[in-house]
Structure 1
Amino acid sequence: MTTTDVATTTTRDTAVDLGLLILRIGIGAAILQAGLIKAFDFNTAVGFMESAGWRLPGLAALMVTTAETLGGLGLIAGALTPLAAFAVIAAMVDAWAVNVSAMAFWSEPFNAPFLIGIGATALLFLGAGAYSVDAKVLGRTLWGTRIAVGLLIAALAAAVLTWVALLGTNPIHFTAPS
């Protein structure tokens, strides 16, 4: 009976770690691709920011490109996962706001940036799992709830502050802007 309990626990832990690896690769690859597209065609990213009315469009493009590229690499490798998730969450909150800022925020809430942000938030709280740099080099798969909550609050604050400072508007509308 003890053998069954141990086998079940081992199988469950392996399944959880494999699930975290799959989630990290999926979220990390999606955000890394977005960052690399901007990095390899940086002038287009700057042009998009400029046409959307962002102040200092070069800085805004650099910030999002860096967050997406380094955040994606960090999530894929499971390296400093809380910091990688922080970067991805902050970038995706602003990307989500760009997608919904011209309408009421509930009009189309479940777009790609929203879902990537939710995945990064899950990784922030669940950790990287056993198949990660965090586990193999740093010897930890979890960073603790306080760190996760603190980084989530900091990511949301960074996203809102970036939006307000570089775009100058309220990113969330309860009704469609007129």
Structure 2
Amino acid sequence: MNTLIAFNKPFNVITQFSPHEKYQTLKDFIQLPNFYSAGRLDTDSEGLLLLTNNGKLQSKISSPKFKLPKTYWVQVEGIINQQAINKLRKGVQLKEFHTAPAIVNFLDDPKELWERIPPIRERKTVPTSWVSITISEGKNRQVRRMCATVGFPCLRLVRVQIGKYNLFTHQLPLNDWRYITTQDIYF
């Protein structure tokens, strides 16, 4: 039986089930055997993580060759400008590769987001702004590196959507998980 789980991962949770000396793990939230994350979400990132007990499905969801889009809401240091947005839209050169074009839009302060614990570092003299970035590659820390490359370091990163599954349209609260089907993520 193919089983798929959507989990709204909080900040400072490592995406593994085995114990970790410093961080909470998936096991602190999901007590089901033989489930593994389908893709990564860094410890310092929050939001939607898919897990499955089916190896082929895990590979299909996490593989860039299947081009499953992933959307992130990103809070950056400074007021991001149109020039930086345009660069992100065209793709940027990172150390080892050039990113594919991304869908990037300015984002008003997202009121539907939960408060992060601990909160981001704030500096009184440096404002922040938000963008929505959709990619289908998902290389290691790619969105953070893309933002830094265009001069706007990432302060907070929340994955809000994978494929067509969106945290807010499906009302998945922080720390919660639920069973979903492949039809929930594929267009």
TM-score by length of structure 2 reads: 0.26
Which structure's residues are more often helix, by fraction? Answer: 1
User: Larger Rg: 1 or 2?
Assistant: 1
Which has the higher relative contact order, 1 or 2, with Cα contacts under 8 A spaced 6 or more apart? 2
Which structure's residues are more often strand, by fraction? Answer: 2
TM-score by length of structure 1 reads: 0.26
